[in-house]
Amino acid sequence: MLDVHRLRLLRELSYRGTIAAVAQALAYTPSAVSQQLTVLEREAGVALLERTGRGVRLTPAAHTLVAHAEQVLAGLESAAAAVAATKGGLTGRLRLGAFPSAARTLLPPALVALGRDHPDLELMVDEIDPADAAGLLRTGDLDAALTQDYDLVPVPEHPALESTVVLTEPMYLASTSPPGSPAGSAPGRDEAVRAFRSGAWIMGRPGTLCRLAAERVCQAAGFEPRVRHQTDDFPTALALVAAGQGQAILPRLGAVNAPRSVVLTPLTTTTRVRVTHRRGAGGHPGIAAFHRAIEDAVEGYLGRTTATTVTRSSNPVKSSGFVV
């Protein structure tokens, strides 16, 4: 009989690539991970790992086993959710992750509602970058997370996870002067970014999804951005824009309460906010309650946003800017 715990280790190795990375993620020593995978090979009766210099790679048999492991682990999640649904009320811990702008705007009202309706549910929140969510959910460090993806940085289908889009919004160009063409007329949305191609830019740190999305918006406009300042905090980025330090590209959710001197120009690129959890866990009462609370928070957020007018030089035009 194959051991589920060892199957989980093999699955993590398929995602993380090295035994050291698996050990670090799951708080094991590398030797302990190696020993458990050796036992799994004996249980399976076939070679699962091939040595490649100082590393290892999965054999075709291992990839087959990982695919089945995904189904087994999703089934166990579904079983745990079904058992939890038989209880009278929500108790225990619910570990939640959220990226910063969602943690500021969507998460607080959702937590208030959950605390009011389920007082025995212990809520624990970690602020995360969406790029880290998958690993934290797989290892059980999080039960559910608010994640984000962009048109130009799509999230591939993840066999271990399920997600539901709860909010779709445009990306915005933030600047202190309205983008204009040489003739002084208001440019199209995509041309707005190109108007600042020779200027300085404020972006997130390398490796984050918001940095990659902003870079790709600039690249789609035909140039590589000259990054002057790096920050993962959108209010800080907007403060730097207001101080004349450059332009920024950010989601609408991250531009709530932007300084009045900042001009927000909507772009055609959109971003999506998702509720993400392990596959099979969606029926768990705690995760289902979190999902409902977030949907209510999104509805409230959209109800508070109103259209406003952004003045571009001498050409006032209606924009999808907003106030909260």
33 with 99, same domain? no
Q: Do 221 and 74 belong together in one domain? A: no
The confidence score (pLDDT) of residue 190 equals 64
In angstroms, the CA 175 to CA 161 distance is: 37
66 and 130 in a common domain: no
Q: Do residues 217 and 250 both lie within one domain?
A: yes
Last residue of a domain, one of 30, 59, 84: 84
Last residue of a domain, one of 66, 84, 102: 84
Q: How far is CA 113 from CA 3, 98, 125, 224, 295, in A?
A: 40, 17, 15, 44, 11
| 106/230 same-domain check | yes
pLDDT at 180: 62
Model confidence, pTM: 0.84
Domain count, the chain: 2
**Same structural domain for residues 208 and 76?**
no
Q: What is the mean pLDDT of each run of 10 residues along the chain (324 residues)?
A: 94 94 94 95 94 90 96 96 90 94 95 95 93 92 95 86 95 86 46 91 92 93 95 95 96 91 92 96 96 96 63 33 31
Q: What's the domain range around 100?
A: 89-324
Q: Are residues 247 and 104 in the same domain?
A: yes
Rounded CA separation 106/299 (Å): 10
CATH of residue 69: 1.10.10.10
| pLDDT score of 182 | 43
Residues 67 and 140 in one domain: no
Beta-carbon count within 10 A of 205 CB: 11
The residue out of 38, 57, 84 marking a domain boundary is 84
Same domain, 288 and 309: yes
For residue 278, give the 3-state DSSP assignment: strand
43 plus 125 within the same structural domain: no
68 and 114, same domain (yes or no): no
3-state SS, 67-105, equals HHHHHHHHHHHHHHHHHHCCCCCCCEEEEEEECHHHHHH
Mapped onto helix, strand or coil, the DSSP state of residue 175 is: strand
Q: pLDDT at position 189, please? A: 57
CATH number for position 167? 3.40.190.290
